[in-house]
Structure 1
Amino acid sequence: MGHLPKLIEDLALILMAGAIVTLLFRKIKQPLVLGYIIAGFLVSPHFIFTPNVVDQENVKTLAEIGVIFLLFSLGLEFSFKKLVRVGGTASITAFTEIIFITVGGYFAGKLMGWSTMDSLFLGGMLASSSTTIILRAFDELGVKTKQFARIVFGVLVVEDIVVILLMVLLSTVAVTKNFEGGQILFTVLKLLFFLGMWFIVGIFLLPTFLRVARKLLDEETLLILALGLCLGMVVLATQVGFSAELGAFVMGSIIAETTLAEKVEHLIKPVKDLFGAVFFVSVGMMIDPKAMATYAGPIFWITLLTLFGKMISTTIGALISGQPLKQSVQVGMSMAQIGEFAFIVATLGLSLGVISEFLFPIAVGASAITTFTTPYLIKFSEPIYNALVKVLPEKWVNRLNRYSSSTQQIQAESDWKIVLKTYLRILVTNTIILVALLLVSKNFLHPFIDSRVQNSYLRNAITLVISLAAAAPFFWAFMAGKPKNQAYKELWVDKKYNRGPLFIVELLRVAMGILFMAIFVNTLVPARIALLVGIPITILVLVLFSSRIQKFYQRMEKRFMRNLNERELVAAEANAVENNLKEKNNEMRTNLEAWDAHIVEMEVNPQATAIGRVLMDLQWREKFGINIVYIKRGEKIIHTPGRQNRLLPFDRVGILATDDQLAVFKPVFDAREVISDEDVSIDDIVLQKVLVDEHTKLRGQTIHGSGLRERTNGLVVGIEKEKDRLLNPESSTVLEWGDIVWIVGDRKKLQKLIVE
């Protein structure tokens, strides 16, 4: 017998246990995540009545891969533009809740005598709510379309990105053991820099590559490419000192901006589900019932903190953002649970060896309790609001409502605010790129040239020329790039009040650009060379070649913006056809008003009797006086279709007719294929030949006119005519004496036709 690695045995045990338990949980309509966790407990050493996992180290490796793919999948559902569109309401609400519950979790841990690291990670574990549980509860209660649900979805988006950042900060603090404010601030700035750099470079390169290679990317190749990009970014993120989870999330969010995002998400789902199941089962393997009994008190207090802390803080955050009291209460009571991120944060702490193992059973216990309470809290949120209104003084309620009304009536941003935000975007974007180029030059280009060029002056000159050539377009944009929006044009036209301040802004950023240039050059070459040669030559080049540098930068900017907005552009192109069609329909409707005729668009039912038949055979124009103006099939439009065109399922057909004609025609168009109630066995479907003679009485008739299809419940697939054989003959073919007609149909009906 061949040797079977223990990992395969363990994987079989994990997946079988996960499948059986989650089937049960699906039956009782409970979250599958809890099912996986319970399955993990059943195959763990803590449960002695079932087989146990043996190779736990390799299972941990598979679980880490599961976390990576979970975060990658989360990134695919997320986009930076979506975060911008979330708006102030959701952002204020989310940050209020996260700050309150994170700080509350930290102090709760300290009050229970836990270490600083345990307390910090507890705060991080409580920071997120469960998107899965909330969506399921909203579906069951039918409240997804309500106003407060929209705010909840926005809060969940903000929570996802903030918790990712929290994980990076926690891992950094855990590794460095440094709690100083300056170090944490440096870590935050470093994180924001690398996020910005990865996003800019990724959007500039990846969509272009995918667009060029699209014809070569089948499903298999695209899946391999997506997984390779994900793991490649994971390696890069860990190399620069961040977590693997951050790298996976960032690559997912970059791919989310491409037109292949939905396809990649569809392809990656089985991989995510497989390794995600292993991860959550591995979480369950860490549950120790004795530890849960020992820490029943902390589980109780943390559950209370989660329920009431999240309810109160989220409600206050929604009120601060300007939401009415009722919606604020509903939002607050929807967010009171611990999400799946709690297990990921706890796994991160354990993998770094900085937290205690008892945090897992506590997180699982609190998560299980809040999972079951969530639907009831959402259901009773309105009655609790009604009770709260009765208890609160009337003047308080009126003040809150006035505050909400005044907040929602705030006017749009002023022109100056829009322009200053545009300037800030220009400065920040180009600063990130310039710093990235400086790091590349210092850490890679400089050592490379040093090892190959002996002369110090020549070495410095080569380094400076290459670095500044790459940086020149971005220095130009930093110091001279103008905001491209209507607000800037309107301010510039108003000479009396605005040109002076705009001129000062321009001078300030030129000064900042020269200072930045000095730092850039001084970092690469000695200060004397930088001051006397590098900076003057750089400024001279920028002035002399300004127009060329400007055109080059604008081409890059245009490409970046095209890639960034590619999904919207593709959608707009698809909608343009639709809008053009609507305009044409409206135009024709206007011109035909005197005739009492108009165009109506109708969709072909997949069971319609007209499917597959050519328009000539349908004879709708002859019978009902209507005209088919177009057939829209996916992205393709068939204008004025010919007699040989066919209708297919889900085609959208533009029909020109009067109201009276449509009243008669619509039942015919909507008619569906009637399935016979007779039990017809597959053995009763036969290929039978029928001779055209005096018995069958088919001579001189066309296939369509003979009614063979209806009489035999079959299809004419061939005709033998003396020396000719016609395969799949046209329905207009005339039958003659001696023809042999081959029909696929019902045996009984064919026999009846022959006997007749």
Structure 2
Amino acid sequence: MLLTVGSATTNLQPLISDLGLILMTAGIAVLIFKILKQPLVLGYLIAGFLAGSHFDFFPSIKDVHSIEVWAEIGIVFLLFSLGLEFSFKKLVKVGGTASITATSQIIFMVFAGFTAGQLMSWKIMDSIFLGVMLSISSTTIILKTFDELGVKAQKFAGNVIGALIVQDILAILMMVLLSTIAVSQQFSGSELFLSVLKLIFFLTIWFVAGIFFVPTLLKKTKHLLSDEMLLIVSLALCLLMVILASNVGFSPALGAFIMGSIIAETTQAEHIEHLVKPVKDLFGAVFFVSVGMLINPDTLIEYALPVALLTIITITGQSFSSTVGSLLAGQPLKQSVQTGVSLSQIGEFSFIIATLGASLHVTSDFLYPIIVAVSAITTFTTPYMVALGTPLAIYLEKKLPRKWVKSIQDYSANADAIKIMTSLQIALRAYLFQIILHSIIIIAIILLSGKYLLPFVQETEFGHTIAAFITLILVSPFLWALSLRKIATEAVNELFSTKKQRGPIMILIFFRIGLGLFFIGFIVNNFFSPATAVLSLIFAIIAYFSFPKRLQKRYLTIEQHFLSNFNEREISKTKHLRKDLTPWDGHMATFDIAPSSNIIGKTLNELRIREKTGINIAFIKRGEITINMPSRNERLFPKDEVCVIGTDTQVKKFKKYLNQNEIEPPEESEQTDIVLQHLKLKNLEYIGKSIRESKIREKTNGLVVGIERDGKRILNPESHLILEENDILWVVGDKKLLSSIIQN
């Protein structure tokens, strides 16, 4: 027994001593870098260099393989934590500005990095990996720099953070594509397309299934889970998704990221993030230290020129491409420059991608230390680049041709104009979304049934019949939603009533029905012989069209459960708010402001709702934005969701007040397009006059909501403000009338 224990101790000794050396070195380096107010990531890298085999004046790591395993675990937990901070709803909120900025930057830098690698006569795979590594900025370094410089609340910071979210998603996609290219050793367009389709398929299935089951699991077991158990369950879910991702050929990091983003939609996301943070910090430190261990001074001296060249390419290329992308997205020059210089570094994702290349044995040994060196240099320069943003923007505004600056201002103003989606666009988007989503779900159920259900029952007498019957029952609600469910009814009814642009909708309606019948035929053909399949198909179609209400009920139950889980976090916050706000015998009630109401556009002070009805407004929900306890100057807009507090009598009085102020639309009315348009003031007819004297409001049937003058914007200007030459007016009005003003 003693020999066994002694043997185990001997086997564990290198592992324990190595871990102790790593943590001791990392701890000292972190303390020093904290005192110097430098990014902790650099401290970890230097700690790794000191503990590595390339530095002889310090104890070295003995069991490198174990450290590599821990580093891989560190990548998993880093991506899991990143997913916990990321919500799929955030991607929608960052909007087109961040997406255009990030996409422009990545495309430019991948091309620049690949070209630089080829010019240095590197291998094709080295050049491809180099381009991808140079294209991803560091979320950790940027957020820490923003905190230290106190700029996180500035407007450009929101665009930077949004671009980082998009970059992280695209980085995950590129890791999958790099794995495919590395295995096939060639860049095939068809393989790339199939890889993207495969990724979209599995991401959709994992997300839908995860949102359907994981929040329910955590909610049902909440009373049983202590902090310790919740941590174990969360990590178990993370590793389960890691296994699933690995089994279908994706990187483990992708699985960890997906599970993190699923848990991010639950009410316990913040608590889980807090519990996981020490685990992430521990293994993340091991990962960054393992990266530092690969720094070879001899390699850096030998490749000093490539390091210097790639550092210049990273700083200038990232800054330039991000600035151009932000300008293309319609941001002003100053904010675009600030965004560009903030994204001028590489970091943790570059290390992860470099690790991927090394593990697949497709990149050269010199690439890793070069990327680490470039990252270290650009990490040091990041605070200075962020601080340089404002002075550089001012300098460019002075030095660039005046015509260019005005063109940028005009483009930015145009990009801020309100974009109204047509009924056809609304209908087409809804139809395509339903077709793609439900087709993926149906295909997944059929594949799972064929792989797991059929082998389980096929030995029985009616095995194929049982498998086909169960499969049809499972997919039937989704078949109904795919082919028979009414979608975007208002937009479709409008298209059919006006008899315009009905063709695409009719095609999609018949396509949906045909696709549903195809899936039914595909199922019965998979489980029956051709002769039996025909009879089964007829029977299945008759049954399918005979019970639409039951199928609808089943589908709506499933959909309601999914949406309840998906919105659970927001619903919980709202309930918590209501619980805190509800006074004594009063209660909360929610009303929608009709688009045709008289009270639209007026402030709460002008409406005097409290004086007239006795209620108080708890919050106003406007799209994704919730305005808690709105001030008296807050205006009401169409389709606002207003939550009020009052007694039964007061709430009824408020409801009556809303009904009295709703305008009945005429039976036949000419449709007008109301838009936000900017007008560059050159017409002498308006210069020198006040807004009221210019009669722009009467001529456009609109309202002057803003003036841009010498780069400054005045919101809701007073009617007596005198108009000057080269003023840019923002006017809300009829599109045709505004066009006539512009032409004059």
- 1:473 is matched with which residue? 477
- 2:393 is matched with which residue? 385
Contact 2:472–2:520 under 8 Å retained in 1? no
Whether 2:77 is the aligned partner of 1:75: answer: no
Structure 2 matches for 1:453-532, cutoff 5 A? 453=460, 458-483=462-487, 487=491, 494=497, 496-497=499-500, 502-530=505-533, 532=534
Q: Name the TM-score, length of structure 2 as normaliser.
A: 0.75
Q: Distance in 2 between matches of 1:143 and 1:59?
A: 37
The letter for the 1-side match of 2:431 is: Y
Q: Distance in 2 between matches of 1:412 and 1:196?
A: 29
Q: Distance in 2 between matches of 1:520 and 1:326?
A: 58
Contact 2:465–2:527 under 8 Å retained in 1? no
CA displacement, residues 182-220 of structure 1 (integer Å, 9 cap, x when unaligned): 011101110110000000000011111111111001101
Distance of aligned partners of 1:487 and 1:339 in 2 relative to their CA distance in 1, 3 Å threshold? farther
Distance of aligned partners of 1:569 and 1:487 in 2 relative to their CA distance in 1, 3 Å threshold? farther
Runs (5+) with no aligned partner, structure 1: 594-598, 600-756
- 1:215 match: secondary structure: coil
Structure 2 matches for 1:252-401, cutoff 5 A? 252-401=260-409
Q: Distance in 2 between matches of 1:500 and 1:50?
A: 75
The letter for the 2-side match of 1:204 is: F
Distance of aligned partners of 1:498 and 1:572 in 2 relative to their CA distance in 1, 3 Å threshold? farther
Give the greater-gyration-radius structure (CA): 1
Structure 2 matches for 1:687-726, cutoff 5 A? none
Q: RMSD value over aligned CA atoms? A: 2.7
Deviation at 1:449, TM superposition (A): 3.0
Contact 1:76–1:261 under 8 Å retained in 2? yes
Q: Distance in 2 between matches of 1:83 and 1:398?
A: 31
Contact 1:333–1:381 under 8 Å retained in 2? yes
Deviation at 1:442, TM superposition (A): 2.1
Deviation at 1:500, TM superposition (A): 6.9
The letter for the 1-side match of 2:299 is: A
The letter for the 1-side match of 2:450 is: K
Q: Distance in 2 between matches of 1:495 and 1:546?
A: 29
Distance of aligned partners of 1:48 and 1:483 in 2 relative to their CA distance in 1, 3 Å threshold? same
Q: Name the TM-score, length of structure 1 as normaliser.
A: 0.74
Identity within the alignment, %: 49
The letter for the 1-side match of 2:331 is: Q
Q: Distance in 1 between matches of 2:412 and 2:398?
A: 19
Contact 2:427–2:505 under 8 Å retained in 1? no
Q: Distance in 2 between matches of 1:573 and 1:53?
A: 53
Give 2:214's match in structure 1, choosing from 183, 206, 211.
206
Contact 2:472–2:523 under 8 Å retained in 1? no
Give 1:103's match in structure 2, choosing from 101, 111, 115.
111
- 2:557 is matched with which residue? 555
Number of equivalenced pairs: 590
- 1:380 match: secondary structure: helix
CA displacement, residues 424-470 of structure 1 (integer Å, 9 cap, x when unaligned): 221121111111111112222233333x13x6xx4432232121121
Q: Distance in 2 between matches of 1:387 and 1:495?
A: 54
Deviates more, 1:576-585 or 1:170-179: 576-585
Deviation at 1:84, TM superposition (A): 1.4
- 2:305 match: secondary structure: helix
- 1:214 match: secondary structure: coil
Q: Distance in 1 between matches of 2:329 and 2:183?
A: 36
- 1:196 is matched with which residue? 204
- 1:85 is matched with which residue? 93
Give 1:7's match in structure 2, choosing from 12, 15, 18.
15
Contact 1:311–1:336 under 8 Å retained in 2? yes
Give 1:439's match in structure 2, choosing from 430, 447, 465.
447
CA displacement, residues 4-35 of structure 1 (integer Å, 9 cap, x when unaligned): 52100100000000000110001101111110
Distance of aligned partners of 1:295 and 1:592 in 2 relative to their CA distance in 1, 3 Å threshold? closer
The letter for the 1-side match of 2:546 is: L
Contact 1:101–1:127 under 8 Å retained in 2? yes
Deviation at 1:420, TM superposition (A): 2.0
- 1:145 match: secondary structure: coil
Deviation at 1:567, TM superposition (A): 0.4
CA displacement, residues 566-603 of structure 1 (integer Å, 9 cap, x when unaligned): 0011111122234545999999xx9999xxxxx9xxxx
Q: Distance in 1 between matches of 2:504 and 2:369?
A: 60
Q: Distance in 2 between matches of 1:124 and 1:523?
A: 42
- 2:654 is matched with which residue? none
Q: Distance in 2 between matches of 1:435 and 1:503?
A: 24
Contact 1:314–1:335 under 8 Å retained in 2? yes
- 1:143 is matched with which residue? 151
Deviation at 1:504, TM superposition (A): 4.3
Deviation at 1:489, TM superposition (A): 6.1
The letter for the 2-side match of 1:185 is: F
Structure 2 matches for 1:104-123, cutoff 5 A? 104-123=112-131
- 2:537 is matched with which residue? 535
CA displacement, residues 487-511 of structure 1 (integer Å, 9 cap, x when unaligned): 456556x454477764443223212
Q: Distance in 1 between matches of 2:144 and 2:466?
A: 61
Q: Distance in 2 between matches of 1:244 and 1:291?
A: 30
CA displacement, residues 688-730 of structure 1 (integer Å, 9 cap, x when unaligned): xxxxxxxxxxxxxxxxxxxxxxxxxxxxxxxxxxxxxxxxxxx
Deviation at 1:520, TM superposition (A): 4.1
Distance of aligned partners of 1:490 and 1:564 in 2 relative to their CA distance in 1, 3 Å threshold? farther
Contact 1:41–1:285 under 8 Å retained in 2? yes
Deviates more, 1:155-164 or 1:128-137: 128-137
Q: Distance in 1 between matches of 2:571 and 2:491?
A: 24
Contact 2:428–2:505 under 8 Å retained in 1? no
Whether 2:141 is the aligned partner of 1:133: answer: yes
- 1:34 is matched with which residue? 42
CA displacement, residues 149-174 of structure 1 (integer Å, 9 cap, x when unaligned): 11111101101111011111111221
The letter for the 1-side match of 2:560 is: K
The letter for the 1-side match of 2:129 is: F
Deviation at 1:418, TM superposition (A): 2.3
CA displacement, residues 28-52 of structure 1 (integer Å, 9 cap, x when unaligned): 0111111011101101111111111
Contact 2:426–2:488 under 8 Å retained in 1? no
- 1:216 match: secondary structure: coil
Deviates more, 1:222-231 or 1:477-486: 477-486
Q: Distance in 1 between matches of 2:340 and 2:176?
A: 27
Q: Distance in 1 between matches of 2:86 and 2:344?
A: 22
Deviation at 1:277, TM superposition (A): 0.7
Contact 1:464–1:534 under 8 Å retained in 2? no
- 2:430 is matched with which residue? 422
- 1:709 is matched with which residue? none
Distance of aligned partners of 1:518 and 1:288 in 2 relative to their CA distance in 1, 3 Å threshold? same
The letter for the 1-side match of 2:57 is: F
CA displacement, residues 597-639 of structure 1 (integer Å, 9 cap, x when unaligned): xx9xxxxxxxxxxxxxxxxxxxxxxxxxxxxxxxxxxxxxxxx
Deviation at 1:114, TM superposition (A): 1.2
Q: Distance in 2 between matches of 1:524 and 1:394?
A: 72
Whether 2:578 is the aligned partner of 1:570: answer: no
Q: Distance in 2 between matches of 1:520 and 1:82?
A: 38
Distance of aligned partners of 1:140 and 1:579 in 2 relative to their CA distance in 1, 3 Å threshold? same
